[in-house]
Structure 1
Amino acid sequence: MSRPRVTHVVATDAFAGVERYVCDTVTELHARGWQVTVIGGDPEAMRANLPAGVLQFPARTAAHAVRTLWRRPSDLVHTHMTAAEAAAAPLKGLRFQRLVSTRHLAQPRGSSPLGRLARPVIEARLDAQIAISEYAASVIVGPSIVVPNGVPSSRLAPLPRERTIVVMQRLESEKDTALAVQAYAASHLAEDGWALRICGRGAEEQPLRALARDLRIEVDFAGFVTDPRSVLASAGIVLGTAPAEPFGLAVVEAMAEAAPVVASDGGAHPEVLGPDGVYFPVGDVQAAAAALRTVAADEAYAAAYGRTLQRRHSELFTIERHVDRLEVVYEEAWNR
């Protein structure tokens, strides 16, 4: 049997972690000969990160995604986030035959009004639900197939490590970026020439700037970065503060670049970083500061730790390994 035509749907006009994941995954699927279309995401950024042979259509909202799905029939639709699920589910059997969804957040479906309204239809029509980590699978509702995300291996020449602590995440309350600012201040690493760079945008940016002023420290608020891998490849330490991280795409990208990572012990961080990870208890500023000082104090240890994390990425979290697993999900859903 020939492979089904696949359409990935993310009903946003953004380009953040989910949209970057879609681009990486679709690029690998396309390289393996799958016929793939993408609906949603920031049009300029998506097209810049997708192969020339992949069609991409804008869809800022669920309504836009419905219209595009209706005009562009497919065989198997793979949705990302609840708005995309809500757009696709009513069209199953009309414009495509199989529905696969990846749950990128560690929370039950229905946290928003749209999700609550659409949940019965979505759950009745799903052929497969993917959780991006064991932790996420333990939180979301319904049976899930755990398929950890993957990211491409490093394609960069080794870069010198800067004395910079990098935080790369959405600046929203659930990421607890304030802890990064507080831990940096408590570590006193600025006195040794270390800087804190926060990459990302969100509602918490202005409160974070005010916090930095109150603590009388300088913080580089870099905003959205177009080349995150270069930033991570030159980072002295990458800091993950989220107390309930569903997976941690930037953490895994840091691993691929052999960057040493300090992370909270909550969410999926322990299953991603593994037994050699450097952790601090969720919300513990002083423990986070101590962990930063430990890694910063010993260049040889930091370099060896980064290489250990890079090997773990190569073994578990490459984009190739991810798509190997994803192909099995597609084939099983298609042959149901």
Structure 2
Amino acid sequence: MLPNDPLGRRWLDLSGANPSLVSQFRPVMVSFLGFDLNKNPKLMGTGFIIAGNEAFYVVVTARHVIDGLQLFQRPLRHAPSAVPGLFIQPKVSLDPRHLKVLRTDQGSARLMNVAYVTYAENLDVALCLITPQESEEGLVPYAVPLDCGTPSVGDIVHLVSCGGMDVSETSPPLEPDGKGQALRIERSVCIRMGTVTAVHKHGYNQYRFPCFSTSIPAEHGMSGGFVYKPRDGKMVAACGIVSADLDLTHRPRVDFSSKEESVISCAWPLLGFNLPVSILPDGTTSNALILDLVKAGDMPTYEDSADFFEIADAEDHGLRLRCKS
């Protein structure tokens, strides 16, 4: 239950009561829009911007959002193969005809392109670079830095994501490449408050990655949003990424006292990811570790939360983080 709540509620929806907070978060929340072989559109999940400039934005989402996009774009005809633990380049098509990212601000909406995606098979987090379709000089949205700490059981947390997502075609494409297609897209920014119900440093059941659970339900489209600990006078920083809801019915939740939980991936493993600092026209990338970018002051994090981690060599030549002794 929420502390000091005489009604015994386990979670609350804060969106309607906090329009200014919704407006603050709206420009950093993105939605992934996939297209199948017949140009049919589908919104597949949420992401959020953790850094950026006029040229590109760094976006975090859940790995299974990218997997879902890949399956929707081109359903597999055989079983995929991969070496567990390795950081890989997903097979999702980044062609703008197959994948777009929606970002909205007050009174405006933009479709953006995805330039790069990477994830680790043993985690449910993914890292993306998205770029504007056209030059947007001076447009640098507020970003949500990473909080590399793990909340404790009983802590109050907020979940921020996109819900109510729906897309439909209002006019079919005029050309084979999809030009002329008109879409009607709906989505809203959701803010929910609840408590941390458990912490699983080594994974939980089929969720074999560092994670924690909350009393906040996560519904369709919310995967890839972020969770943060509200602190008076402190910056908002993402300590987790929405991964799964333990209720598999996917029905809308309106009972604030319901005993249902969501699984949240810890954010700190992102420190072990490579981020391209430049992409050449031939697709060649020059990479840097997120942890190194943080140490150099080029990537924001919450206070000194990243100082407790270091990169360790792992089996299969992958990279893995460990806490400093």
TM-score (norm 2): 0.22
Q: Which is bigger in relative contact order (C-alpha 8 A, separation at least 6)?
A: 2
Q: Which has the higher strand share?
A: 2
Q: Which has the higher helix share?
A: 1
Larger radius of gyration: 1
